[in-house]
Structure 1
Amino acid sequence: MEAKTRILVVDDEDRIRRLIRMYLEREDYQVDEAENGDEALELAFTNDYALILLDIMMPGKDGIEVCKEIRDKQDTPVIMLTAKGEEAHRVQGFEVGTDDYIVKPFSPREVVLRVKALLRRSTTAGSFAPGANSAKEIIEFPHLSIDQDAHRVLADGKEVSLTPKEYELLYFLAKAPDKVYAREQLLKEVWKYEFFGDLRTVDTHVKRLREKLNKISPDAAKMIVTVWGVGYKFEVADES
């Protein structure tokens, strides 16, 4: 029998945990619960979760601290649960590596859809591939290589550890060099947001992506170019 996809739900409110759990279990996910940050970290580091749903505001260690500690050790996809008035915290969440966020009060069906979308994008190689006929898709540039089948990025020959969303953003930009994308376009294409979403989501992910690339290859980091007043593009420098 195939093992169920395992998800960790972290929230200090029992009612919210039970509600999310009920809807996810209806979709045949296996769900574990944690009511505080310390419990969440213990579970996250001793189990193999496909995704973590994490509340920002909790007593003790909050979601920002928990996400930062998780990101220091692993790239498990994280969806942050936030209240409407916590916009600054959402930005902090993206800065420490959150992949997505859901604003409370939320529809349980929205949670299920966001979970499915993030799991699909983080586990299915070729989600942005232009065609299924190519045996292996590797995009090669000077200083940077992206293996779409393996979801692996090399900068100057060294592997770069990226979250699923950071990888998707890099791949989406790199598959169309010199094409400029507005932030709104990137939210729609990479995050699948059409009518909601904070534009700073894009900015914080670009910032983190550049920082990770720059630690290994400043030349690779320079390929992600800001087009002021518009958005971003992937630019390949002329090495001739």
Structure 2
Amino acid sequence: MAGIRSDHPVTPSAVRAMVVEDEVALAGVLGSYLEREGFEVHLRHDGQAAIASARDVDPDIVVLDLGLPGLDGIEVCRQLRTFSDAYVVMLTARDDEVDKLIGLSVGADDYMTKPFSPRELVARVHALLRRPRHPQPLGTTPDDGPVLRGFGPLSVDPLGRDVWLHGEPVSLTRTEFDLLAALSEHPKMAFSRRQLIDQVWGPSWIGDEHLVDVHIGHLRRKLNDEAATSKFVRTVRGIGYRMGTGQ
């Protein structure tokens, strides 16, 4: 049972955060730190409860432990992504690259390895939330009409946040779409990982820059874009990535 742990009324405009952590004491600490920042906090201690509550609460941010009993964090994240575009920060007790990569591949936006500072978690959450859900695309003005970007059979609509491949819609997470939008805005530019992080996660983000590679890999899979013969998201050796023509 956990819901709002606040000493003051929560306003309707409060950002909703769900902490899913089976260590009750740790969940309480993280919830307290988030509450002090003005978040509406909901605590859950197992995966099934988290999925059920997420449908009702509609959280803006989910702090999700990987090693949950029953449904683990990977499965919770996978199910969450079928109905929610909440930002997900995955927590893992093991400094294991495989866990991190798997977590990100199912739609997590960031990860942290225990032990960590609750203040650092709050900073990461704020960095994610500074990315608007439906930002005005760079290079447009409020009077501009929709800007449709075409790359062969791939079309990207940054205003409507839609993507089509061979006329069929492609479902992307917010992070995947933001990466594609950044690359497609300047298709002749080779972006370094740091430049993409600054564009998508924000310049204040601190962490492993190879997080970009994981999301690019997942984006490529959804676009049926093999790394060795990529048509849409191309690797620029020694630098990073750039947009391809689709040919």
Q: Same fold (TM over 0.5)?
A: yes
Please state how far the C-alpha of 1:122 moved relative to its aligned partner: 4.3
What is residue 96 of structure 1 aligned with on the other side? 106
| 1:129 aligned residue | 138
SS of residue in 1 equivalent to 2:130? helix
1:115 CA drift (Å): 1.6
Asked whether 1:75 is paired with 2:85, we answer yes
Structure 2 length as normaliser, TM-score?
Answer: 0.81
- 1:57-100 CA deviation, whole Å, 9 max, x = no partner? 22322211211222244433211112352332111111111111
The corresponding residue for 1:148 is 158
- Mapped partners of 1:192, 1:106: distance in 2: 21
Aligned ranges 1:88-237 → 2 under 5 Å = 88-126=98-136, 129-130=138-139, 132=141, 134-141=143-150, 142-192=152-202, 196-214=206-224, 222-237=231-246
Query: How high is the sequence identity, in percent, across the aligned residues?
Result: 38
Gaps of 5+ in 2: 1-10
Moved more, 64-73 or 162-171: 64-73
22 and 194 in structure 1: CA distance in 2 versus 1, 3 angstrom threshold: closer
Q: Is the 8 A contact 1:17 1:33 kept in 2?
A: yes
Q: Deviations over 1:119-148 (max 9, x none)?
A: 23142412x623545534524214333333
With normalisation by structure 1, the TM-score equals 0.83
Q: Which has the higher helix share?
A: 1
Cα distance, 1:177 vs. partner? 0.6
Gaps of 5+ in 1: 216-220
- Cα gap change, 1:103/1:210 in structure 2, threshold over 3 Å: closer, same or farther? same
What is the CA–CA distance in structure 2 between the aligned matches of 1:170 and 1:90, rounded to whole Å?
Answer: 22
Count how many residue pairs are aligned between Structure 1 and Structure 2. 232
Task: Give the deviation of 1:186 after TM superposition.
Answer: 2.5
What value does the CA root-mean-square deviation take over the aligned residues?
A: 2.6
